[in-house]
Amino acid sequence: MVRMVSAAELKPTTYAWPVEIAGLRVKAGRHLAVDDLDLRLGNGVHGLLGPNGAGKTTLMRALSTVHRPSGGQLRLLGEEATNGRVLRPLRRRLGYLPQHFGFYPRFTVREYVEYMAWLREMPKTAIPGAVQRAVERVGLTSRADSRLKALSGGMLRRVGIAQAIVNDPDLLLLDEPTVGLDPEQRVEFRALLRELGAESCVVVSTHLVEDVVAACSNVVLVNEGRLVWQGLPAELIERGEHGGTGDSPAERGYTSFLTSHRSAS
């Protein structure tokens, strides 16, 4: 079997960290949802964990350049993301699935993913092939010409993932990507995440600890807009073997870290 060399491998990397955050502050309305956050993320799959209202979605919006930070430093793929001049080339290298995935009901799967590829300024000749690959990777080949309004919630989520990966992004941001997926699809999705994380930086915001343990190489735990803990999934599990509440060691580790943080602050 001949191994294909991807463009990402040939591309020179001039930055040490795909995501570099220092003292980041981001508001959601009038509320400071991300408060003085410091974080560095390399290539791999990073699970962003935290309770409801922890600031995960606001942080994902800032990382996707949708939401403007109110302070601090945000460097993405070696570029200062608050600089308007670099936004256009930077955005070509991003993929983003928001928590609330908006779509055009009358579009087919292929049309929608094609449209998103066009919005990301992919070369015209590369779009059909890239769309086909993205649709195949999420297992929707047989529904590629179905209209979005005819798809189930889980299928729509997979369309959302397909549009996010269609441009082979260097930084992929997925907010609650496994919502609506059945157990078999979640297992397949975790395998896809690991595959994507081998060549790029993937940030997955979720409240499902088991997804993080199964698919992520790094865990980032946030609460009230601040970093609580960052480490390996194995360390989360290890922590759970010594305390915390939950059904699995990872869940117990998660609650243990949160409880410690709350009692300390």
Residues that bind another protein (CB under 8 A): 1-3, 61, 64-69, 82, 84-85, 87-92, 94, 96-98, 100-104, 106-108, 111, 114-116, 118-121, 145, 163
Phi, psi (5° rounding) for residue 140?
A: -115, 20
Q: What's the closest the beta carbon of residue 102 comes to another protein, in angstroms? A: 4
Q: What's the closest the beta carbon of residue 2 comes to another protein, in angstroms? A: 4
Please say which residue, 147 or 207, places its beta carbon nearer to another protein.
Answer: 147
Q: How many CB atoms lie within 10 A of CB 146?
A: 15
Please say which residue, 134 or 209, places its beta carbon nearer to another protein.
Answer: 134
Please say which residue, 57 or 255, places its beta carbon nearer to another protein.
Answer: 57
Question: Hey, what amino acid is at 136?
Answer: E
Token reading at 154? 């889980």
Give the span between the Cα atoms of 95 and 174, in whole angstroms.
8
Please say which residue, 61 or 157, places its beta carbon nearer to another protein.
Answer: 61
Q: What's the closest the beta carbon of residue 175 comes to another protein, in angstroms? A: 10
The closest alpha carbon to 58, from 98, 23, 94, 93, belongs to: 98
Q: What's the closest the beta carbon of residue 88 comes to another protein, in angstroms? A: 5
Q: How many CB atoms lie within 10 A of CB 145?
A: 10
Please say which residue, 43 or 65, places its beta carbon nearer to another protein.
Answer: 65
- The rounded radius of gyration (Å) of the Cα atoms in the chain is 18
Give the span between the Cα atoms of 187 and 80, in whole angstroms.
35
Q: What's the closest the beta carbon of residue 144 comes to another protein, in angstroms? A: 8
